[in-house]
A = this chain, B = another copy of it.
């Protein structure tokens, strides 16, 4: 089977934004409220950052449970890795995730400002200044036959979509969250229908509508 490039558990607002405006150290998603947007995932038993016991094991859990399944590498944009812009002033920044990042694979951070690779627990971060196709090639090799996760943010996902490199996308749309501005994935999900099939499935929990795309 081919190594897929997969977008998993990407959550966007009802008006198509993956994050709000004004990202900062204190507000990784800008003016968007991540607690509101990600509550569907945080309620599931398999949510990687879950600290309290219990949690749901219904449909939403199928998506969070699948997060690590057959994934051998992740690609992310620099703004998912941190709030800094331009040349690195401080190499002490090692991502938002503390000493135990939830990736457990090599992670390729796309940036024009490369820096040395480093390892936290079983996650190694590499910094690459290259076009999407080249980065995907490196990630596939690192994934050793497994799939590659395209972790976002949405600007990075747009670049890979425009290059025709994304095989499947799972996007959870928070129908009742309206951000008005920020970093946009799409105007409407149907924009992708020229290139992808689409299943639209309501979450039984009611907060989101799952959108599953795969190539035509």
What is the CA–CA distance of A65 and B4 in the complex, to the nearest angstrom? 13
Chain A 177-216 interface mask (CB, 8 Å, partner B; 1/0) = 0000000000000000000011111101000001010100
Q: Which residues of B contact A210 (CB under 8 A)?
A: 59
A36 located at the interface, meaning its Cβ lies under 8 Å from any Cβ of chain B in the complex: no
- Contact among B59, B212, B214 with A201 in the assembled complex (CB-CB below 8 Å): B59
Q: Which residues of B contact A56 (CB under 8 A)?
A: 197, 214
Chain A 98-127 interface mask (CB, 8 Å, partner B; 1/0) = 000000000000000000000000000000
Report the minimal beta-carbon distance from A211 to chain B, rounded to whole angstroms: 10
A11 located at the interface, meaning its Cβ lies under 8 Å from any Cβ of chain B in the complex: no
Given known contacts A199-B204, A201-B204, is B59 in contact with A212 (CB within 8 Å)? yes
- Contact among B58, B62, B69, B200 with A204 in the assembled complex (CB-CB below 8 Å): B200
What is the CA–CA distance of A168 and B204 in the complex, to the nearest angstrom? 16
Chain A 2-27 interface mask (CB, 8 Å, partner B; 1/0) = 00000000000000000000000000
B69 and A199 form a contact (CB under 8 A): no
A residues at B contact (CB < 8 Å)? 45, 56-59, 61-63, 65-66, 69-70, 167-168, 197-202, 204, 210, 212, 214
